[in-house]
Amino acid sequence: MLRLATPADELAEQAVTERVFRRAGMRGGDTFVCADVGFPEIYEFYARAARALGVVRATYLHLNRDYRRSLEPIRRLAPDVFLTLPSLLARCWPHLRSVWPHGRSPIRSLIFMGEPMHAGLRREVAETLGCRVYSFYG
For the cut 60, the answer to whether the pLDDT of residue 1 exceeds it is no
Q: 82: which strand partners? A: 33, 110
Farthest CA pair distance, the chain: 46
Residue type for position 131: C
Cα separation of 89 and 119, whole Å? 13
22-27 long-range contacts, Cβ below 8 Å, gap at least 24?
22/53, 23/134, 24/81, 24/109, 24/111, 24/132, 24/134, 24/136, 25/81, 25/108, 25/109, 25/132, 26/50, 26/53, 26/55, 26/80, 26/81, 26/109, 27/53, 27/54
The whole-number average pLDDT for the span 56-76 is: 95
Q: Summarize pLDDT for 81-92 with one digit per residue, the tens.
A: 999 999 999 999
Is residue 5 scored above 70 in pLDDT?
yes
Report phi then psi at 113, rounded to 5: -145, 170
Which residues partner with 135 through β-bridges?
112
Q: What is the model's pLDDT at position 38?
A: 87
Q: What predicted TM-score, i.e. pTM, was given to this entire model?
A: 0.93
Q: How confident is the model at residue 3 (pLDDT cuts 50, 70, 90)?
A: low
pLDDT in tens, 93-136: 999 999 999 999 999 999 999 999 999 999 999 999 999 999 99
Query: What's the confidence (pLDDT) of residue 2?
Result: 57
Q: Are 123 and 100 in contact (CB under 8 A)?
A: no
Q: Does pLDDT of 138 surpass 80?
A: no
Measured distance CA(114)–CA(122) in Å, rounded: 15
Whether the pLDDT of residue 137 is over 90: the answer is no
Asked if residues 57 and 31 have their Cβ atoms less than 8 Å apart, the reply is: yes
Q: What is the pLDDT of residues 20-63, one digit of tens each?
A: 999 999 999 999 999 999 888 889 999 999 999 999 999 999 99
What pLDDT shows up at residue 70? 95
